[in-house]
Structure 1
Amino acid sequence: MSVSFIRPPRLKPGARVAALSLSSGFVTEVMARYQAGVRQCAKEFGWEVVPTPNALRGPDFLYENPQARADDLHWALENPDVHGLVSIIGGDDSVRVLPHLELETIRRHPKAFLGYSDSTVTLLLLQFLRAGVMAYHGPALLTDLAESGGMNPFVVEGVRRALINDPEPFDLMPAPEWTELHQPWTPELQDTRRSHQPGEGWTWLQGTEPAEGHLIGGCAEVLDMLNGTPGWPDPEVWRGAVMVLETSEDVPPPAQVGYWLRNYAAQGILQGLSGLLLARPRGYTMGQKHDLYTWVKRVLKEAGREDLPVVANMDLGHTSPQLTLPLGGLTRLDPLAGRVTVTA
């Protein structure tokens, strides 16, 4: 491992966790859903979830004021009464917040942050990993944490192991069930559980030898927005890493994912990886999933990485339930044993 990361304090029961709208201010249109997330976090984790000063000011205000979104992040980090941070929801323009963020503030006040999707830009990659602080790729407040009918036990266990329990190695496991069913976030349906289908397990695309590296990655579409900006991670952050990639409800074609991977190969990123974790792609048919796997293996062969361990169809990102991954955490892939273990 060529880089190391500070592990922020655990979010034990009783922790006060700030809820941030770092991208979309959509939350004000679904406040009953927000309150469900607050209640369920208190029930399952013992957290007191509180909004940052601008988090509930609505989509128009937050769109027009990226500085206010950055101010909320700095407020949550500098406030001694706040112990951790959670993203309320994603969006598509966190990249506009970049010029307003203060890296030194994050270095001085390392705190756990939980989120995914557009959070890849402002926190999971740009600020936390560049600042040398571990971050947590996992559910947002309005998604799995406010899940209709109550939090899925798979989500509860994942958050507890990554963020709450005392640190110790743990195996990642496939979810026994999953869903991508859209169900309106209305008060009438908050107690109605979505229908799920049986989990089909992971797919090991290639690799035979065990490998280990620190986790880094996030939403592929958001990484594409970040690529080439001052926030793109330095080469040494990628070196020896296990890359995590998931795709959003935009449903990018398999070829597009292949093109993004070719970009990483052109930068030398693929050549230096220790492993690759691919999420179950949201909205894909079985044929599209097959095409995706073909593209991944094709690009890795082009890059001379037919040896790279690759696990696909993992429960990450935009399908539910999802794992919580400590970005920056050391992780071991054992293809022959079919195990993925977060070791540190």
Structure 2
Amino acid sequence: MRPHPPFTYPSKPRPGDRVAVVSPSSGLPGLLPLPFELGLRRLREEFGLVPVEYPTTRKMGASPRERADDLHAAFADPDITAVFSSIGGDDQLTVLPHLDRDLVRAHPKPFFGYSDNTNLHAWLWNSGIVSYHGASVMVELGRPGALHPVTAASLRAALFTSGPYELVEAREFNEIDRPWDDPETFLSPPPTRPCQGWTWRNPDRVVEGVSWGGNIEILSWLLMADREIREPSAYDGCVFFLETSEEQPRPADVYGILRSLGERGILRRFPAVLVGRAKGWSLDRRRSPEEADGYRQALRTAVGRALDEYAPDVPAVFDVDLGHTDPQQVIPYGGTVRVDGPARRITVTY
């Protein structure tokens, strides 16, 4: 049996450093510049970093090879100290075969992104490099009005500090988007509404382990392509975190993906599970608050059903503020996560 690789935390940037901004999935900054330019400005003004763009950062339809070349250039440049994804997409899977693992291992750097960037996170995990699930330039940094304080605090800690960071329970959230091509969108923060905190299942122990997971839809694609998914024993002792996208997958489909992980012998390997607060609204699928809450409850039920069948005794925490949610907290991918059931606390190591 081969265990998971030993993990390296890359050195952190400092204010004044140059950081790469890349588009490994989609060149949406070229179509929707308003949130992107706002995100770049916040990197400069609020975090003191100097963003550096690459040839495909604003290019729609860039080939997988071109996008891989940008990643290689960003990691290999000694003047670049961190790498940010502009946004997600739907075909980063095709970039993975073009990546040079030896090059990136020789120049490890903190990588920030989520959604389709789960592909790159899993690839970095298999390379033994800790990355950071969260904080895209167009969504979190480009949030209308202002960064959410919870998001800003987590991102600042993940960027500039090392050591434990305790996640907080959001008591209000937003899931309603406004058009990114309308300047009026960016004049005020999005409205928020109250939400419940975390929901605990089997909170009878303390678990600490290396994290693995990400967006559940992207994990299903990796499973189908048989890419970057290791043998079950590699996940022994890992804390599994998962979340769903703005596509709002059917609860039955989420259950099916988890069932596949169960049948593969992976789901039972995790001693704890974190489930992100699901997004229940999008411009293409607009639900009332009651309908969105019902969707989230159906997802919780689907995940709980899979855990009942494949990992009935495992502690799990639902509605953690990770992934496609606002506010969003950064999760180290391959870093240490501590789930303290009796104390109802989650601590990550940045």
Do the two structures share a fold, i.e. TM-score over 0.5? yes
Q: Place the TM-score, normalised by the shorter chain, in its bin.
A: over 0.9
- Which structure 2 residues correspond to residues 242-257 of structure 1 after superposition, within 5 A? 242-257=239-254
CA contact (8 A) 2:273 2:316 kept: yes
Match for residue 170 of structure 1?
Answer: 165
CA contact (8 A) 2:277 2:320 kept: yes
Q: Distance in 1 between matches of 2:93 and 2:25?
A: 9
% identical equivalent positions:
38
1:278 aligns with 2:284: no
Q: Distance in 1 between matches of 2:165 and 2:34?
A: 34
3-state SS of paired residue (1:143): helix
- Which structure 2 residues correspond to residues 189-228 of structure 1 after superposition, within 5 A? 189-228=185-224
CA contact (8 A) 1:248 1:281 kept: yes
Output one character per residue of 1:44-72: Cα deviation in whole Å (capped at 9) or x when no partner.
Answer: 2111111112212x213x1xx11100000
Task: Tell me by how many angstroms 1:2 deviates.
Answer: 5.4
Q: Name the CA shift for 1:157/1:246 in 2 (closer, same or farther; >3 Å).
A: same
Match for residue 286 of structure 2?
Answer: none
Output one character per residue of 1:286-327: Cα deviation in whole Å (capped at 9) or x when no partner.
Answer: 333333222222222222x22211000111111212001111
Match for residue 73 of structure 2?
Answer: 75
CA contact (8 A) 1:44 1:156 kept: no
- Which structure 2 residues correspond to residues 1-344 of structure 1 after superposition, within 5 A? 3-56=5-58, 58-60=59-61, 62=62, 65-121=63-119, 123-126=120-123, 128-165=124-161, 167-185=162-180, 186-235=182-231, 236-283=233-280, 285-303=292-310, 305-343=311-349
Q: Distance in 2 between matches of 1:153 and 1:287?
A: 27
3-state SS of paired residue (1:86): strand
CA contact (8 A) 1:150 1:191 kept: no
Where do 5+ consecutive residues of structure 1 fail to align?
none
Where do 5+ consecutive residues of structure 2 fail to align?
281-290
Q: Report which stretch shifted further, 175-184 or 130-139.
A: 175-184
CA contact (8 A) 2:75 2:108 kept: yes
Task: Tell me by how many angstroms 1:215 deviates.
Answer: 0.9
Look up the equivalent residue of 1:169 and give its one-letter code: P
Q: Distance in 2 between matches of 1:198 and 1:294?
A: 21
Q: Distance in 2 between matches of 1:187 and 1:249?
A: 22
Q: Name the CA shift for 1:151/1:343 in 2 (closer, same or farther; >3 Å).
A: closer
Question: TM-score normalized by structure 2?
Answer: 0.92
Task: Tell me by how many angstroms 1:138 deviates.
Answer: 0.8
Look up the equivalent residue of 2:269 and give its one-letter code: G
Q: Distance in 1 between matches of 2:229 and 2:9?
A: 19
Q: Distance in 2 between matches of 1:291 and 1:189?
A: 31
3-state SS of paired residue (1:258): helix
3-state SS of paired residue (1:218): strand
Q: Distance in 2 between matches of 1:278 and 1:331?
A: 14
Output one character per residue of 1:6-54: Cα deviation in whole Å (capped at 9) or x when no partner.
Answer: 0001122112111111111111112232111111112221111111122
Q: Report which stretch shifted further, 253-262 or 226-235.
A: 226-235
Q: Distance in 2 between matches of 1:115 and 1:178?
A: 20
Task: Tell me by how many angstroms 1:178 deviates.
Answer: 1.1
Q: Name the CA shift for 1:321/1:41 in 2 (closer, same or farther; >3 Å).
A: same
Question: TM-score normalized by structure 1?
Answer: 0.93
Q: Distance in 2 between matches of 1:183 and 1:11?
A: 32
Q: Distance in 1 between matches of 2:227 and 2:251?
A: 26
The alignment of Structure 1 onto Structure 2 pairs a total of residues equal to 336
